[in-house]
Amino acid sequence: MILFRGGWVFDGTGQRLDGHGVLVEGAQIARVAPLAEFDGFAGETVDTGGGTLLPGLIDCHVHLVYSGQPDARAAMAKQSPADITLMALENAQKSLAGGITAVRDCGGKDHLEFAVRDAIGRGTFQGPTIHAAGRMICMTGGHGNAIGRVADGPEEVVKAVREQVHAGCDLVKIMATGGVMTPGVNPEDAHYSAEEMKAGVTEARRFHKRTASHAQGTEGILNAVRAGIHSIEHGIFMTEKCIEEMKEAGVYLVATISALKNIVANADSGIPAYAVEKALRVSENHLRSLRMFHAAGGKFAMGTDAGTPFNHHGENAQELGYLVDYGLSPSEALVASTAHGADLMGPMDIGVIEAGRKADLLLVEGDPTKDIRMAAERANHRAVYKAGVSVPLGRPAARAARQAAE
CA atoms within 13 A on the CB side of 280: 12
For range 44-62, the mean pLDDT: 98
> How do residues 378-392 score in pLDDT, each as one tens digit?
999 999 999 999 999
pTM (two decimals): 0.95
96 neighbors 391 (Cβ within 8 angstroms): yes
Dist CA 56 CA 317 (whole Å):
11
Instruction: Identify which has the larger pLDDT, 398 or 369.
Output: 369
Choose among 121, 113, 107: nearest CA to 90: 113
203 burial (CB, 10 Å; 0-12 / 13-18 / 19+) is: buried
What percentage of the chain reaches a pLDDT higher than 70?
Answer: 97
**What average pLDDT does the structure give for the chain?**
96
pLDDT at 402 over 90: no
pLDDT at 403 over 60: no
Identify the band that residue 404 occupies on the pLDDT scale cut at 50, 70 and 90.
very low
Q: What type of residue is 61?
A: H
Per-residue model confidence (pLDDT) at position 401: 39
261 neighbors 322 (Cβ within 8 angstroms): yes
> How do residues 69-114 score in pLDDT, each as one tens digit?
999 889 999 999 999 999 999 999 999 999 999 999 999 999 999 9
Dist CA 5 CA 35 (whole Å):
7
Helix (DSSP H) and strand (DSSP E) numbers for the chain:
14, 20
Identify the band that residue 347 occupies on the pLDDT scale cut at 50, 70 and 90.
confident
Q: Which residues contact 301 (CB under 8 A, 6 or more apart)?
A: 58, 60, 231, 252, 253, 254, 336, 337, 340, 341, 343, 344
pLDDT at 132 over 70: yes
For range 261-272, the mean pLDDT: 97
pLDDT at 138 over 70: yes
| Beta strands at 51-55 and 361-365: parallel, antiparallel or unpaired | antiparallel
Preceding amide of 81 cis, omega within 30 = no
Domains and CATH numbers, the chain: 2-55+351-405 (2.30.40.10), 57-316 (3.20.20.140)
pLDDT at 396 over 50: no
Q: Where are the beta strands (DSSP E) in 100-189?
A: 100-105, 129-132, 137-138, 149-150, 171-175
Query: What's the farthest any 2 CA atoms get from each other in the chain?
Result: 67
> How do residues 144-202 score in pLDDT, each as one tens digit?
999 999 999 999 999 999 999 999 999 999 999 999 999 999 999 999 999 999 999 99
Dist CA 101 CA 387 (whole Å):
9
> How do residues 9-28 score in pLDDT, each as one tens digit?
999 999 999 999 999 999 99
Identify the band that residue 394 occupies on the pLDDT scale cut at 50, 70 and 90.
confident
172 neighbors 137 (Cβ within 8 angstroms): yes
DSSP string, 175-217: E-B--SSSTT--TTSB-S-HHHHHHHHHHHHHTT-EEEEEE-S
Per-residue model confidence (pLDDT) at position 405: 43
